[in-house]
Structure 1
Amino acid sequence: MNEPIQPLDPIAFSLGPIQVHWYGIIIGVGLALAMYIAMKEGNRRGLPKDTFADLLLWAIPIAIISARIYYVIFEWDYYKNNLTAIPQIWNGGIAIHGALIGSVLTAYVFSKKRGISFWKLADIAAPSIILGQAIGRWGNFMNQEAHGGEVTREFLENLYLPDFIINQMYINGSYYHPTFLYESIWDLAGFIFLLLLRRANLRRGEMFLTYVIWYSVGRYFIEGMRTDSLMLGELRMAQMISIVLIVGSIALLLYRRMKQLSDLRYLDSEN
């Protein structure tokens, strides 16, 4: 008789009554690595040494708060009767689109205050952002969330996945699509692609807009497989926003070229 499959413990360790979850640790690692890469590239591109450190002091908490607010808004039927659960982000429930809204607005205000080009700042940060997203999806893995519909174990084995991933996708008696993994791989590929684009010396702003398009294309298709989508009526919010971001980014890219608003290049040193 086969032994029952035990999921991985979402709690990394405890400090007295405080439980430290893998979700938070993984998100923290993703943020730290993204910050390190952005700071190194910022220094190479001539930004003041502490630019990204100062920006992230504001952007990280605002992004977390806005990501949680976004999620809670679309799950209000649950949270209105469970108000104490609203701050419990260690149990999952933050929306990347909410985080992006908060962080981009913060970066825009910050760039204006510092007299730095927002597009230059965004271009430098773009590979770091998508790498952080690739790592962060493994927090969803530890919480057994952000998965797709039911599949068979044979299907997962045919993907040549290691047993620890297959077993973690066994939830309440069924196996599920590891959509967290699909998105993580897509984001990692995007990270590599954006690093290569640095050598192409694109017009300023186009690195960030390429990131938005790349991420949104993958998110649109992967979101269609998920079972936990935030909904607006019968519509999946992430898919709607992805379409808006793709169309908007392409339109903005073309508009900036036609109006010659993007003559400066990524490797140019001017602010």
Structure 2
Amino acid sequence: MTTTDATVLVTGASSGFGAAIARRFATAGARVIVAARRADKLAERVSELGPHVLPLTLDVRDRDAVQRAIATLPKEFSRIDVLVNNAGLAMGLGPAHHADADEWQTMLDTNCGGVLHCTRATLPGMVERGRGHVINIGSIAGTYPYPGGNVYGATKAFVRQFSLNLRSDLHGTGIRVTCIEPGMVGGTEFSTVRFRNDHEQADRVYAGMQPLTADDIAESVYWTASQPAHVNVNTVEIMPVAQSFAAFQIHRD
């Protein structure tokens, strides 16, 4: 499989990482299915990227809807070669004892449930054909804790471990699995969503430093998918130069 004859499904493709990933594959000549909840944003992707892009209005949290959507794809888009599980979000940055339980549930349903539903729906076809690549978007938050990261970090730890377990389950099938784990990325809706559309607070996250961009992440995703069929990139951890590892927290009286 080359990227020029591949069919790629990207979830969360309305903006941010997803839009950049869809753009990178479409530019390389792939057929791209762009999936997201916001139909108007998907229409923008189709207008931008052309006729080899199929919009799929979909909430990845809805298991039945995901199954139906994958089962009823048009013939030319039905053989999915690359699944990019990108849909995800963070909500809030407060300590666990002040957290909103509904926000916790939304992160679990989207970041974990969405990955499960989309993977389960596409994997049988990949195994039957003896080729395919599942690329999950994790986060360094799944490895390194930080105050307020509680459930968001836990969901990304799930994505990381699920990716590793998929590799074990799929041993001998020819299917590849990769987890991309970005650090701070600016210019997306991530922090705006986390802080409930408080743009000022979101902008402060990236003040005075140069974060990664969505295009940086898209390039990492594309690179892993472009490797020869016998090469599996297990994990890519990517951070901006301006970000590294903090010291342990110490509470002093």
If the length of structure 2 is used for normalisation, what is the TM-score? Answer: 0.35
If the length of structure 1 is used for normalisation, what is the TM-score? Answer: 0.34
Which is greater in Rg? 1
**Structure whose residues are more often helix by fraction:** 1
